[in-house]
Homo-oligomer: A and B are copies of this chain.
Amino acid sequence: MSDVRIHNLAISLDGFATGEPQTAEAPFGHAGERLHEWMFATRFWNEMVGAPGGTAGADNAFATLHGHGFGAEIMGANKFGPPGWQDDPDWTGWWGSDPPFHTPTFVLTHRPRPSIEMEGGTTFHFLDATPAEALRRAREAAGGLDVRIGGGPTVVRDFVREGLVDHMHLVQVPIVLGRGVRIWDGLEALETTYDIEATSTSSGVTHLTFTRRR
């Protein structure tokens, strides 16, 4: 059976995975890009955007797992576009004509639309479904490979709470956001079902990995 994994979900010290308000100009609200600067410095990121260089240390090792072994992604409506994208029939996501997913990608929304085939292997499918049903569909499409839960934090929480996630990788960034969407709400006693490991790195972030006990 393939695994369900979450990678590179950055949170503040106080657990917010995004600030507020989320708009087309500021997808992460008042957090800006501060939750992701650690990743922009890595070789993983530079390769993805076609730039040279980047760090090759622990941050890069963790970040790179995001791209390995996946056959499908599931994301929430708030990741696919800014508030109101459902009213724009031409919206095809933030990522241009060749999105970085390169697999079937399932967007959870209460207002589904026809699938969109992009360049580079990404096809967006729109589902109004429970986490379990969405995962069943994604697994069918993944051809035996793993399924990534791509976020945002509300969707991640939903899948973790339902017991559907095998691995979760959070990256704790040393800022205090104070407001936004908190990853931890409703996840009390997560340590009873996951082995948790913490790894601080020289960039100042701490990688938190959760591995479900078998």
Interface residues of A (CB under 8 A from B): 13-15, 172, 174-179, 182, 184, 186-191, 196-200, 204-206, 208
Contact = CB atoms under 8 A, between A and B. Distances in A.
Given A13-B208, A198-B204, A208-B13, A174 B191 contact: yes
Contact of A184 (B174, B176, B187, B204): B176
A172 B188 CA distance: 15
10 contacts: A13-B190, A13-B196, A13-B208, A14-B15, A15-B15, A174-B208, A175-B191, A176-B191, A198-B204, A198-B205
Contacts of A197: 174, 204
B200 A199 contact: yes
Contacts of A205: 198
A198 B200 contact: yes
Contact of A196 (B182, B186, B188, B204): B204
Contacts of A177: 188
Closest 4 CB pairs of A and B: A178-B188, A14-B184, A174-B196, A198-B200
Contacts of A182: 14
Contacts of A175: 189-191
A205 B179 CA distance: 25
Contact of A178 (B176, B187, B200): B187
Contacts of A191: 174-176
Contacts of A190: 13, 175-176
Contacts of A187: 14, 176, 178
Contacts of A179: 188
Nearest to A14: B184
Contacts of A186: 178
Given A175-B191, A188-B179, A189-B176, A206 B206 contact: yes
Nearest to A177: B188
Contacts of A208: 13, 174
